[in-house]
Chains A and B, each alone.
Chain A
Amino acid sequence: MSFAVAMIIWSVLTYGHFVNPLLLPTPMDVARALMRMFSDATFLNDIGVSVYRVMLGFLFSVLLGVPLGILIGTFKSAEAFLEPINDFFRYIPVPAFLPLIILWIGLGNANQISTIFVGTFFQLVLMVADSVSRVAKELIEAGQTIYGNNSRILILHVLIPSTAPDIYDNMRIAVGWAWSYLVLAEVVAANSGIGHTIVQAQRFVQTDVVIAGIIVVGLLGLALDYIFKILFPFFFPWSEKGKA
């Protein structure tokens, strides 16, 4: 519905010649640009490269961020030690890191992967720590009355399974950010990728390609989020949230 309204406004503006077609092409122009792009191997390769970067950046972020978040959420000492520094980095906008990343790492895949990592890692740590600290206390206590203070059992077999759906949701949010930071990194400094395509098109005032690129970015982001959503009941058939 909201998409339809946006399309109507767009059509009226362009077909009614209210705006300069150089700045806002018609929906048909953009559709044609999309067709052209998808029949071009370079663009398909750009999509592949972008997806690869998101996956890797996100993977590193999860592999390090989730355990660290669990640690901070579980142990007061870890929280006192690690949370201030995590918060410090969390408050620095990602673009502020870009010059340093370019200097240290260059323009290759590692650049965008690092940008995604920096953009999502510190946020993910905080979200996971928060999810874990809100674990149902009585479930932990039920575990304690059986196994005493065996923290290995309590963390591995009570705390983590009970908070896993929340951590999964945290990851779903983080993957959306990963996607934004990917495009940011590719627009600023990259030799390939969807963001790079958009910037190149902007240099030659190919507005239709710019808009087509943005649409592709949006659709891929949506698809990624959708995958996370439909896999939830598969991973957590027991969750109340997954109730059909």
Chain B
Amino acid sequence: MLHLENVSKTYTLSTGYVISAVEDITLDVNQGELLVLLGPSGSGKTTLLRMIAGLENPSTGAIYLDGTKVDSSGPVPGFGMIFQAYTAFPWLTVKENIAFALKYKQGVSRTHRQDIVQHLLNLVGLSNFADAFPKELSGGMKQRVALARALAAHPKVLLMDEPFNALDALTRAQLQSEFVKLSNQDHFTTLFVTHDLDEALLIADRIILLTPRPGRILAEYNLRSCLRNRDRHDSRFLELRQEIYSAMSDSVEIAVSGEAR
């Protein structure tokens, strides 16, 4: 579905020093799958997501969506991106925010648009806030609006950049489980970026672990096949958590000692 081939990204600092953010990433996101990119800060997760959405260009390598190369000359429609920052448009009501994704597209009739908006309002549980402005909403609700708006555009792949980071623990847990439920029910294809191991274990079908500075693929875990349930107390769950945790902290230590040199 979404295929990344040897994608790398380097930045040249004003001092002339070249830093590598992401190095030689090759991966596939399969149809209907929830793939989590897990990595500590500095592993280039966000950069990777932004390159896929066309907000930045890869230095080398290529990105393919459904077999066609993603044109790297600018932002690409077809991806629904949800950012860590709240991006619900403050001047539009909840309803209008969701409708925004359809309003300036051709071939979507007014009544059809209203139907989709109503459906998404129900889906993310905001029907009672249809006419509220974002300033009247909590952080969790703002992210629901962002999700509904992204879904309204009917994206082939949802790109989620630590969307629940700014939320308090309870809201976060609630949104995580709601998102997994929605995802299973509607079979979204999602690439989800996080540095939170527990979040990754709770929601992912598959986890790809990245190293810090530069981001490279360190390991891959297929949770669908090795985890029967997402119970935090299940022994297999805890084992896997321990395994990924050690791999993560080892990679961070290596990176830190490398920088110290």
Listed in ascending order, the chain A residues whose CB lies under 8 Å from chain B are 136, 138-139, 141-142, 144-150, 153, 157-158, 161-162, 164, 236-240, 243
Contacts and interface: CB of A to CB of B under 8 A. Distances in A.
Given A149-B74, A161-B89, 16 more contacts: A138-B83, A142-B87, A142-B146, A144-B55, A145-B55, A146-B149, A148-B76, A153-B104, A161-B92, A162-B91, A236-B91, A238-B91, A238-B133, A238-B134, A240-B135, A243-B135
Contacts of A141: 55, 75, 81, 83, 87
Contact of B87 (A138, A149, A161): A138
Contact of B83 (A142, A149, A237, A240): A142
B90 A238 contact: yes
A138 B75 contact: no
B104 A145 contact: no
9 contacts: A138-B83, A142-B146, A144-B53, A144-B75, A158-B89, A161-B92, A164-B91, A239-B90, A240-B90
Question: DSSP majority for the A interface?
Answer: helix
Interface in B57-108: 74-77, 79-81, 83, 85, 87, 89-92, 100-101, 104
Contacts of A147: 77, 104
A139 to B, nearest CB: 6
Nearest to B55: A141
A158 B75 CA distance: 15
Interface residues on B, range: 20 to 34
A158 B149 CA distance: 14
Contacts of B100: 146, 157
A142 B97 CA distance: 11
B153 interface: yes
Contacts of B77: 145-148
Interface of B: 53-55, 74-77, 79-81, 83, 85, 87, 89-92, 100-101, 104, 133-135, 146, 149-150, 153, 159
Nearest to A165: B91
B85 to A, nearest CB: 5
Identify which of A144, A146, A148 gathers the most chain B CB atoms within 10 Å of its CB. A146
A145 B134 contact: no
A239 B87 CA distance: 14
A60 to B, nearest CB: 27
Nearest to B89: A139
A162 B83 contact: no
A141 B149 CA distance: 13
Given A145-B77, A237-B133, A243-B135, A138 B85 contact: yes
A184 to B, nearest CB: 37
A150 B100 CA distance: 14
B129 to A, nearest CB: 14
Closest 7 CB pairs of A and B: A144-B75, A142-B87, A149-B74, A145-B81, A238-B133, A148-B77, A161-B91
A161 B54 CA distance: 24
Nearest to A164: B91
Identify which of A142, A148, A157 gathers the most chain B CB atoms within 10 Å of its CB. A142
Contact of A148 (B75, B90, B146, B159): B75
